């Protein structure tokens, strides 16, 4: 069996992009096809297109949107490596940049001067991403001067606005627990302050000192800390059960299969070295952050995590707000230090009738088309 595919690096992730006409309807047959395509289950994914890492084992299924307010539809799948699973219940901000580039190459959207604007239906959540791709004569640019942490070199800046994603996982608003800051008792961990945010994915924020770690330690050091991993799994489990995101019966399987909820560890800004040796100055960031899910720390920082962190950092009485060092205009710019380097997000948020109106949650990414061709499943 042959499948037309593209491989695109989107942000600090990489994925296999497939037109919706190439895959079966949702169900066992589609999952089996994706797993075969990626070479899962196998930690190395040696017999498929998977990249043997959670940042590079991702699939995007794309088609024209049936919605009148969108140009293209996009379904994201996080493909397992050792385990034969595909998580269709999460979202990926980095791969969304690849979707914007894919759509721009197809001539989808509307051109305004030197940019193509594309409205993306994010099918996992039913929400809309507004993307802006630099073009010349309607064709996406191949070169640019924008750089992002965790990716060598520079490229054209693709802007993604996630302002439509408040409450996208549970449909209970930005703070699904009803509180901006909760004091929770976590089995195996103890009592700690937690902020839970539903914004593009489901995010749990905790402070590094409550876990007695230095987030500036290398990813390898953090990943080798088995006690820490057990604590983070307990945090994920407790919050997921508390919110009814998973049932007790399905908890163990869901925690190993689903990216959501993600745990983000934060600390006050201070100077450190990225995992590639780049010096990051204290005055270049507002928060130091690390992200964990499904037994692994992220080698960069999720795009959706960045959006959730930045929005929370602009709202009083949340954990990210408490440790943020500055407020900068409207929109507010929040800069994060992560293992791959730094990233900044522009946010405009206002409290309205007891809730929050988000009119901007914009993240700059780059993306590059790496391959277009035919994949063979047999």
User: Tens digits of per-residue pLDDT, 48-104?
Assistant: 999 999 999 999 999 999 999 999 999 999 999 999 999 999 999 999 999 999 999
pLDDT at 267 over 90: yes
Which of 125-129, 217-221, 291-295, 338-342 shows the lowest per-residue confidence on average (mean pLDDT)? 217-221
pLDDT at 145 over 90: yes
Q: How far apart are CA 23 and CA 17, in angstroms?
A: 11
Q: Is 173 exposed, middle or buried (0-12, 13-18, 19+ CB in 10 A)?
A: middle
pLDDT higher than 90, residue 245? yes
139: CB partners within 8 A, 6+ apart: none
Task: Check residue 85 and report its DSSP letter.
Answer: -
Q: What's the predicted TM-score (pTM) here?
A: 0.95
Average pLDDT over residues 283-291: 95
Cβ atoms of 281 and 271 within 8 Å: the answer is yes
pLDDT at 322 over 90: no
Q: Which residues pair with 191 in a beta bridge?
A: 185
Q: How many CB atoms lie within 10 A of CB 269?
A: 22
Residue with tokens 């919050």: 239
* Fold match flag (2-164+366-376 vs 182-361): yes
The answer to whether the beta carbons of residues 286 and 309 sit under 8 Å apart is no
Cα 55 to Cα 80, 102, 124, distances in angstroms: 11, 18, 18
Distance CA 218, CA 320 (A): 22
pLDDT of residue 324 exceeding 90, the answer is: no
CATH architecture of 182-361: Roll (3.10)
Domain ranges of the chain: 2-164+366-376, 182-361
Which stretches does DSSP call E strand in 52-175? 58-64, 72-79, 86-87, 110-112, 115-122, 127-136, 139-140, 158-161
* Residues 79, 59 contacting (CB under 8 angstroms): yes
Cα–Cα distances in Å, from 139 out to 72, 106, 114, 338? 17, 9, 9, 33
CA 258-259-265 angle, 5° bins: 140
Under 8 Å between Cβ of 81 and 63: no
Whole-number CA gyration radius for the chain: 20
- Assigned fold of 2-164+366-376: Diaminopimelate Epimerase; Chain A, domain 1 (3.10.310)
Residues 6+ apart with CB under 8 A from 249: none
Give the pLDDT score at 353: 85
A 10 A CB-CB count for 220 gives 10
Q: How far apart are CA 8 and CA 254, in angstroms?
A: 28
Residue 306 pLDDT grade (very low, low, confident, very high; cuts 50, 70, 90):
very high
Closest CA to 192 of 181, 203, 201, 202: 181
198 neighbors 175 (Cβ within 8 angstroms): yes
Those residues whose C-beta lies under 8 Å from the C-beta of residue 19, and which sit 6 or more positions away, are 4, 61, 62, 63
Q: Measured between alpha carbons, how far is 202 from 240 in angstroms, rounded to an integer?
A: 9
Does the pLDDT at position 31 exceed 70? yes
Contact 287, 337 (CB under 8 A): yes
């Amino acid at each position: 069996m042959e499948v037309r595919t593209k491989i695109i690096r989107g942000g600090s992730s990489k994925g296999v992009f497939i037109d919706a006409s190439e895959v079966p309807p949702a169900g066992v047959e589609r999952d089996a096809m994706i797993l075969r395509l990626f070479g899962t289950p196998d930690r190395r994914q040696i017999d498929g297109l998977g990249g043997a890492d959670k940042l590079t084992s991702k699939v995007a299924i794309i088609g024209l949107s049936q919605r009148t307010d969108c140009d293209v539809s996009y379904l994201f799948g996080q493909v397992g490596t050792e385990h034969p699973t595909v998580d269709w219940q999460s979202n990926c901000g980095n791969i969304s940049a690849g979707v914007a580039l894919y759509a721009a190459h197809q001539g989808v959207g509307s051109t305004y001067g030197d940019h193509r604007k594309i409205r993306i239906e994010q099918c996992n959540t039913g929400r809309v991403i507004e993307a802006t791709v630099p073009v010349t004569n309607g064709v996406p640019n191949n070169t640019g001067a924008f750089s992002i942490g965790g990716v060598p070199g520079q490229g054209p800046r693709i802007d993604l606005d996630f302002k439509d994603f408040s409450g996208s996982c549970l449909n209970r608003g930005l703070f699904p627990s009803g509180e901006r800051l909760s004091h929770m008792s976590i089995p195996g961990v103890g009592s700690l302050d937690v902020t839970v945010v539903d914004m593009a994915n489901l995010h749990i924020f905790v402070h590094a000192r409550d876990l007695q770690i230095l987030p500036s330690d290398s990813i390898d050091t953090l990943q080798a800390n088995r006690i820490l991993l057990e604590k983070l799994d307990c945090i994920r489990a407790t919050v997921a059960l508390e919110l009814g995101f998973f049932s007790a019966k399905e908890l163990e399987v869901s925690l190993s299969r689903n990216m959501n909820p993600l745990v983000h560890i934060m600390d006050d800004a201070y100077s450190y070295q990225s995992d590639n040796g780049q010096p990051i100055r204290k005055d270049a960031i507002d928060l130091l952050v690390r992200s964990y899910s499904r037994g692994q720390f992220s080698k960069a920082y999720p795009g959706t995590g960045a959006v959730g962190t930045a929005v929370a950092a602009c709202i009083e009485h949340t954990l990210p707000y408490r440790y943020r060092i500055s407020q900068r205009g409207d929109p507010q710019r929040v800069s994060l230090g992560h293992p791959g380097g730094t990233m900044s997000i522009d946010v405009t948020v206002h409290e309205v009738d007891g809730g929050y109106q988000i009119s901007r949650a914009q993240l700059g990414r780059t993306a590059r088309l790496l391959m277009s061709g035919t994949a063979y499943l047999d």
